[in-house]
Each structure stands twice: as structure tokens, then as C-alpha cells.
Amino acid sequence: MFTEIYLNNALSGDKFGEIYLNNALSGDIFRDVYLNNALSGDKFREVYPNRALSGDMFKEVYPNNAASGDKFREVYLNNAVSGDMFREINTNNAVSGDMFREIYPNNAVSGDMFREVYPNNAVSGDMFREIYPNNAVSGDMFREINTNNAVSGDMFREINTYPNNAVSGDIFREINTNNAVSSDMFREVYTNNAASSDMFREVYPNNVVSGDKFRKVYTNNTLSGDMFRKVYPNNAASGDKFREVYINNAVSGDMFREINTNNAVSSDMSGK
């Protein structure tokens, strides 16, 4: 039961007395709660400003601290930590997993096991070792990652994460960075690449590439086909086999070798 609820308060629990602005509180017992605290759980004593702590489940947590889970010890400002389940955390940290020890400010880490995570990392998956700053990595499935890097897949080892790379494995939907890359396995992807294929190694900036196998693709190429090797800037080429296509060519056909600049050729067979 309750009578009066002030602005921006969301309150649930068996008993409550006084609730101030911008507090979201739930639990069996509580006494005093100060501004900007969001607290839930069976028991608590003192909560200082800008702390948000919950137990098993929570939905919305207000600024700069969000912590939930079966067990936790110390959570510092600007950390968001959840255990089994979490949805939305409006702070810079998102942390979930069965076990964790120490998490420094601005880290987002989830997974069964992890060791060291440096600032501004968002990482999830079964196993990983070291991931450098500004990485956002998830395992089997992810939806939206608002950091500059979005990477998912069944297996990955090292990603050198130059800015604005977005790489996903089996499934991805929306990535707000400049890159969109999907494949089962990948190693290194550099800035502003969009590439999809079963296997690839290195892709340089501003390339859009699809096909079963490819190695190196230079700037501003749009390429599709089963096999290709080198394509120079501003070429659009498709076909079963081709080798080299020079600038500003648009070529399609089963077989061709070399076509000089500004030619547009389509046929089953062409030479020069």
C-alpha cells in the first residue's frame, strides 16, 4: 500500500515510508534512501548517493551505477554489473557472468571466465585473454553495441581493433559503426571495411567484398565472385574467374583476364 508518490519514483515492496525524487526502490525492508539511488534486495543498511544495487532481477537503473547478481562485493562508481540477467544499463559499464573479481571503471565484461580487462572494453564469450581498449565483443549472439567496435563469433583470438570496425559471426543485425562484416572465422579486419565470406584474412579500408575466398582487396572496390586475387580501386567486377581489373571497369562474364580503363564488357568470354 502507498499513498503519495513523488515525481520520477518507481516504488515496490512491502513497506516504505519516505521516498525522495528520482529514487527507484524495491525490497522487503528499507529505511532511508537518498537522491539518485535505485535499490532492491532483501536487506540493506546504508546506501550512498549515485549507487544503484539490485539482487536477482532489475529492469531500469538510473545514472552511473548498476549492479545486480547473486553475489557481489564492491562496486565502484560508473560500474554496471549484473549476474544472471540484465537488459539495459545506461552507464558506461556492462558486466555479467557467473564469476568475477575485480572490474575497473568503464569496463564492460561478460562471460564465464575472464582475467584482465582494460578500460572501455565490452567483452563476452566463453574464453578470452586480452582485449585492448574500445573493443566490443560478444559471443554467439548480440544485437546492439554502442561502442566503436562490434565483434561476435564462435571463436576469436586477437582483434587489433582499429576504430570503426564492426565484425559479427553467425548473426548480427544493427551495428552503428562504419563497418559491417560477417563470417564464420576471421583474423584481422581493418578500418571501414565491409566484407562477408566464409574465410578471409586482410581487408583494407573502404572495401565491399563478397565471395568464397579472397585475400587482398584495395580501396573502394565492390567485388563478387567465387575466386579473385587483386582488384584495384573503383572497380566493379563479377564472374566466376578473373585476375586483374583496372580502374573504373565494370565487367561481367565467365572468363576474362585484363581489361583496360573505362571499358564495360559483358560476355561469356573476353580477352582484352
3-state secondary structure of 232: coil
3-state secondary structure of 44: coil
Question: Residue 266: pLDDT band by 50, 70, 90 thresholds?
Answer: very low
Distance between start and end Cα atoms, the chain: 85
- Residues pairing with 227 in the sheet: 213, 241
- Residues pairing with 80 in the sheet: 66
What's the DSSP call for residue 205?
T
pTM above 0.75, yes or no: no
Per residue in 29-78, pLDDT (tens digit) is: 333 333 333 343 333 333 333 333 433 223 233 222 333 332 232 332 22
* Boundaries of every domain in the chain: 1-98
Q: Classify strands 136-138 and 150-152 as parallel, antiparallel or unpaired.
A: parallel
Q: What is the mean pLDDT of the chain?
A: 33
Cell 583476364 found at = 257
Per residue in 117-148, pLDDT (tens digit) is: 333 334 433 323 333 333 334 332 222 232 33
Which residue, among 234, 231, 237, 230, has the nearest Cα to 253 in the 3D structure?
237
Query: What is the per-residue pLDDT for 166?
Result: 37
Question: Residue 5: pLDDT band by 50, 70, 90 thresholds?
Answer: very low
- Residues pairing with 236 in the sheet: 222, 250
Which residue, among 208, 211, 201, has the nearest Cα to 242 in the 3D structure?
211
d(CA 169, CA 183): 5
Question: Residue 90: pLDDT band by 50, 70, 90 thresholds?
Answer: very low
Number of helical (H) and strand (E) elements in the chain, helices listed first: 0, 20
